Amino acid sequence: MKLNLFLSLSGGTAILASGLLLLAGPAPAQVFGSHNSNAPVNFDAGRIEVQDRADRVVLSGAVRVEQAGLVLNAARMTVAYRNAGGIEIDRIDASGGVTVRKAGDTASGNVAIYDLDRRLITLLGNVTLTQGTNRLSGGRVIIDLASGRSTIDGRSTGGSSVGSQDSSGRVSGTFTVPQRKD
């Protein structure tokens, strides 16, 4: 699949790279709607640093990544890629006030990893998953874009709590109940 990468830089400089490939296959996801992982990925940031020898791009300054209506925002992102006759994005790591949105669904946390090969988005630390008026909070959420399944855990990693998360390591939430007439 072809991907157009457009990055806006400070000072009016722009980089346009086309012919990038994503390896993720198409499958509808119930969480965040039917996500089209074959769609182009667009980047927008205040600053970019291309690290060719390390096969990565570092974006900073109110970074926004969009793919088929799925929007990832963070203060900083690192894009890991392979150069196999064309650039193939493998993974996006985001940190600093991370939010993932699509339609009425929102997930937020301290950091996120978007594994494009496996079609997984993992958010860690003070995680909140919101769909309409329903809300879940915990330490880690894994969003599987292939199956549409989201899993939320009370702790973000190996048994330690992160940030202001409840030290009990439990998931908490609120689900809306339709008002029924008696």
Residue 84 and residue 53: Cα distance in Å, rounded?
14
Domains of the chain, first to last: 2-174 (2.60.450.10)
Per-chain mean pLDDT for the chain? 75
Q: What percent of the chain has pLDDT over 90?
A: 38
With 80 as the cut, is the pLDDT of residue 86 above it?
Answer: no
Residues with Cβ < 8 Å from 100, sequence gap 6 or more?
Answer: 32, 70, 71, 72, 106, 107, 108, 112, 121, 123, 143
More confident residue, 117 or 21: 117
Highest mean pLDDT among 4-8, 108-112, 169-173: 108-112
| CA pair distance 172, 136, nearest whole angstrom | 6
In 23-154, the DSSP E strands lie at 41-44, 47-51, 56-67, 70-83, 87-102, 105-115, 120-131, 134-144, 150-153
